[in-house]
Amino acid sequence: MAGGARVVASGWGWRHAGRKAWAVAELSFDIEAGERVLVLGASGAGKSTLLAGIAGLLGGDDEGETTGELRIDGVDARSARGRSGLVLQDPDAAAVFSRVGDDVAFGCENLGIEREEIWRRVRRSLDAVGLGVDLDRRTAELSGGEKQRLAIAGVLAMEPRVILLDEPTANLDPAGVLDVRDAIERTVVREGTTLVVVEHRTEIWADLMTRVIVLDPSGGVLADGEPDAVFAQEGDRLAAAGVWVPRHPIGMPLALDAPAGAVVLEADGLAIGRPGAPVVRSAIDLSIPQGHATVVVGPNGAGKSTLALTLAGLIPEREGLLTGAPSLAGRRGQRPAQWSSRELLTRIGTVFQDPEHQFITATVRDELAVGPKALGLGPAETEERVDALLAALGLGALALANPFTLSGGQKRRLSVGTVLASRPAVMVLDEPTFGQDRVSWIRLVELLRAEVAAGTTVVAVTHDAGVVAHLGESVVELTGASQGVALRGRAA
Amino acid sequence: MSVTTPDISAAAQRTAFLDGVNPVSKILAMVVLSIPLLATIDWVSSTVAVAIELALVPLCGVAVRDVLRRSIPLLAFAPIAGISMLLYAEPGGRIHAQFLLATVSDDSIALAVAVALRVFALGLPTILLFSRVDATELADGLAQVARLPSRFVLGVVAGVRLLGLFVDDWRSMELARRARGVGDAGVIRRFFSMAFVLLVFAVRRGSKLATAMEARGFGADVERTWARPSRLSWRDGVFLLGCVCIMAAATGTAVAVGSFRFVGS
């Protein structure tokens, strides 16, 4: 590969068309060829905009206006496409073709590379990221970590001199995160390519980086220097702004073991699978303790989400039986899958992995009122519940905003709020802390701890070691085998 | 993600004659195989066409089971088309039954049979030709053989890939509505509100994908190359000639037995 490129910003700024505020303003830095830079900043500081700018994606006057200069090896970034390659946060959105080989080749084709050379590069890049799959393999069949490595291979094949990563591990399980980091270490570091990474989870990248640049939301640079120096100097301020600063304590007590007691949901010889799809796990015997928090862990593909949907009564058991406590029995008995949608509301509430899937109205306020209205509560009581939740979730100022326009953290809190509004006895959450910055993470976990303290049963599927430590009073592990579950001691 | 992959991956061996034919030729073949059938209306030509096409199924590489499975919509639609002709076509010949505006006559029976058969004669080649066409292969053909603009072709292919994700979105939204207490009633209203949200998803996914494509140099000023060649070969000539022969045999037989009839005559 051709080594790295120098990236220089001088007074660079960008304002999206139709916005009043500048996304990035008055930004100046000089990144030498081969430097590896972690870009940090509070959400809304313009980190992703900066990456898009370096990638040359911020162009025409209809998209927005620009000030100053952003140059790669002396060439304006907008005319330097191909010198830089950008990997986006969501690997699902990145695959263009349905087969692995074709997808890696896509970037090379766009750069006008010869056919034989394209396929040489495709094989080399897939080797480099450690993705030893068949070229004809379907991209849809890859795991999250594999998809992200595929996206990196697609960028490597273009042989760019700058590689840009926009939260590349936000959507991955711990194993996937390590694979992606290793792939970058093996390729970028060895080839001397310039690397610019935006990532909340700094601990993964900190030791790989030669420099940290912290963006100031009001424009310019807040701090710039060696990682250790920046974290020592700006650690507190960064942590307060939502950055996961390495070795910065969360300041929350650990969860204690759930004592033996009443059971709210009981699975007996349960086999789970989505309707129309194969059974993903069978022979599950499991008791969910009432009024405590249970976390469900395990690798991708182990059936965690399917188990969550089954426990939540949203999809029926494939075999065996799931029974709710007698106190929860509905008109058609104790099986959650047979409860009506309205009966489910006060019994089991579900927070989906993708919060957008559960939004059904046009404002945050209406969204929180859906549950209480479906329960037939009067306007006064509905309003009271909604107002209390808006305050507790820190969404008061956004009451009239459209749920789809919220930030990731706000959407997640709103989706939890929609469930709290109907005060269910049991809450089932699928990856509640997915992609959260430090501030919203703390807020969310504290909220859930408060619910448990108030007597709600919480079941959370998670990859997040922090959630296990601070919420998991009982830990259920789905192992690689497709049968059964294991109860894990808290010490493990 | 749990998108069901198309049959292409399942049918591991791509050795059938039709697999060596360029997708662009298949589109041309559809024109050849359908225009004569759209312009004429008699039962003999479509019967002959369907018979020959069925005899050629082994060359297409589609399993008979799949042909049957994919024909189910045709089996449902053909009788509907046929019955409406039976009742409401312009009466002629002997009249068998009459009820309000509906009249069953010799002519309307003949027309009903012809129309029902035509649904098959038009649907069957679509199933046989396109069941195993891969979207990527089609894009390569459209861009390199048919010389359509690459931006358009790749945009469409990438968009089609998103359709699988929408199926997943829809399922998740259904479950979410049950979880939120609004899943019990109002099927129609629920459908429309979900359709609207799906539209929002479509726009957002589409723009994300466009960014991902641009991030990999799509739309740069360089002349694009193609990693997979797409050309025409002798097979395409044989294939298209074969399609012309099928149509010649179908219409020829109809003329010979005297049943040939243009639409509207």
Q: What is the spatial distance between Cα B1 and Cα B139, in angstroms, rounded to a whole number?
A: 24
CB contact under 8 A, B225 and A140: no
Structural domain boundaries of chain B?
Answer: 23-134+234-256, 146-215
At residue B145, the 3 state secondary structure works out as coil
Nearest to A150 by CA among A208, A87, A192: A87
- Pair B36, B260: CB distance under 8 Å: no
CB contact under 8 A, A344 and B178: yes
Closest residue of B to A340, CA-based? B184
Each residue's pLDDT tens digit, A179-209 = 888 888 888 888 899 999 998 778 888 889 9
| Residues 166-205 in B contacting A (C-alpha not used; CB under 8 Å) | 169, 171-173, 175-184, 193, 197, 200-201, 205
Q: What is the spatial distance between Cα B210 and Cα B204, in angstroms, rounded to a whole number?
A: 10
Where does the pLDDT of residue B13 fall: very low under 50, low under 70, confident under 90, or very high at 90 and above?
low
Per-residue pLDDT at A491 exceeds 50: no
Q: What is the spatial distance between Cα A410 and Cα A403, in angstroms, rounded to a whole number?
A: 9
Q: What is the spatial distance between Cα A359 and Cα A356, in angstroms, rounded to a whole number?
A: 5
Domain A263-488: CATH superfamily is: P-loop containing nucleotide triphosphate hydrolases (3.40.50.300)
Structure-token pair, residue A105: 């080749």
Q: What is the spatial distance between Cα A41 and Cα A202, in angstroms, rounded to a whole number?
A: 12
CB contact under 8 A, B227 and A315: no
A349 in reach of chain B (CB within 8 A): yes
pLDDT averaged over every residue in chain B:
85
B135 in reach of chain A (CB within 8 A): yes
Q: Residue B72 contacts by C-beta under 8 Å, 6 or more apart in sequence?
A: none
pLDDT at A73: 93
Q: Tell me the nearest-neighbour CA distance from B142 into chain A, angstroms.
A: 15
Of residues B263 and A404, more confidently modeled: A404
Nearest to A457 by CA among A466, A445, A448: A448
Of A115, A352, A404, the CB nearest to B225: A115
pLDDT at A2: 59
Of B134, B184, B200, the CB nearest to A341: B184
Q: Which residues pair with A16 in a beta bridge?
A: A64
Closest residue of A to B134, CA-based? A98
Q: Which residues does chain A have within 8 Å of residue B208's beta carbon, measured at their own beta carbons?
A: 88, 90, 93
Give the count of beta carbons closer than 10 Å to the beta carbon of residue B237: 12
Compute chain B's Rg from CA coordinates: 23
Largest CA distance in chain B: 70
Structure-token pair, residue A43: 């959400």
Where does the pLDDT of residue A163 fall: very low under 50, low under 70, confident under 90, or very high at 90 and above?
very high
Q: Where, residue-wise, is CATH 3.40.50.300 in chain A?
A: 7-240, 263-488
Of B172, B213, B226, the CB nearest to A96: B213
CA distances from B234 to B226, B231, B239 (A): 22, 10, 8
pTM over 0.90: no
Each residue's pLDDT tens digit, A354-381 = 888 889 888 999 999 999 999 999 999 9
Structure-token pair, residue A389: 């939740």
- Pair A461, A282: CB distance under 8 Å: no
Structure-token pair, residue B174: 């259904």
Return the percent helix, strand and coil in chain B, to nearest 5.
70, 5, 25
At residue A64, the 3 state secondary structure works out as strand
- Pair B255, B44: CB distance under 8 Å: no
B13 in reach of chain A (CB within 8 A): no
Q: How many CB pairs under 8 A join A and B?
A: 160
CB contact under 8 A, B161 and A274: no
Q: What is the spatial distance between Cα A461 and Cα A128, in angstroms, rounded to a whole number?
A: 33
| Residues 234-253 in A contacting B (C-alpha not used; CB under 8 Å) | none
pLDDT at A139: 86
Nearest to A290 by CA among A264, A265, A268: A264
Structure-token pair, residue B146: 């048919």
Q: What is the spatial distance between Cα B213 and Cα A374, in angstroms, rounded to a whole number?
A: 43
| Residues 209-228 in B contacting A (C-alpha not used; CB under 8 Å) | 209, 211-220, 222-228
B264 in reach of chain A (CB within 8 A): no
Q: Tell me the nearest-neighbour CA distance from B147 into chain A, angstroms.
A: 16
CATH architecture of A7-240: 3-Layer(aba) Sandwich (3.40)
| Residues 369-428 in A contacting B (C-alpha not used; CB under 8 Å) | 370-371, 374-375, 404, 418, 422
CB contact under 8 A, A357 and B173: yes
The DSSP annotation for A431-486 comes to STTTT--HHHHHHHHHHHHHHHHTT-EEEEE---HHHHHHH-SEEEE--SSSB--E
Interface test mutation site (partner B, options A78, A110, A332, max chain B beta carbons within 10 A): A110
Each residue's pLDDT tens digit, A305-330 = 899 999 999 999 999 999 999 999 98
Per-residue pLDDT at B3 exceeds 60: no
Of A81, A118, A141, the CB nearest to B217: A81
Q: What is the spatial distance between Cα A133 and Cα A183, in angstroms, rounded to a whole number?
A: 15
- Pair A282, A319: CB distance under 8 Å: yes
Q: Tell me the nearest-neighbour CA distance from A142 into chain B, angstroms.
A: 9
CB contact under 8 A, A404 and B3: no
Of residues A159 and A89, more confidently modeled: A159
Q: Residue B83: exposed, middle, or buried by beta-carbon count in 10 A (0-12, 13-18, 19+)?
A: middle
Q: Tell me the nearest-neighbour CA distance from B89 into chain A, angstroms.
A: 43
- Pair A205, A243: CB distance under 8 Å: no
Each residue's pLDDT tens digit, B211-251 = 888 888 888 778 889 999 999 999 999 999 999 999 999 99
pLDDT at B7: 39
Each residue's pLDDT tens digit, A101-144 = 999 999 999 999 999 999 999 999 999 888 888 899 888 888 77
Instruction: State the alpha helices, DSSP H only, in A9-143.
Output: 47-54, 91-94, 100-110, 115-128
At residue B97, the 3 state secondary structure works out as strand
Q: Residue A106 contacts by C-beta under 8 Å, 6 or more apart in sequence?
A: A96, A97, A154, B213, B216, B218
Q: What is the spatial distance between Cα B114 and Cα A68, in angstroms, rounded to a whole number?
A: 71
Q: Which residues pair with B102 in a beta bridge?
A: B99
Q: Which residues does chain A have within 8 Å of residue B201's beta carbon, measured at their own beta carbons?
A: 356
CB contact under 8 A, B180 and A418: yes
Nearest to A155 by CA among A103, A231, A221: A103
Nearest to B33 by CA among B196, B213, B178, B240: B240
Half-sphere exposure of B54 (CA within 13 A, CB side): 11
Where does the pLDDT of residue A418 fall: very low under 50, low under 70, confident under 90, or very high at 90 and above?
very high
pLDDT at B4: 36
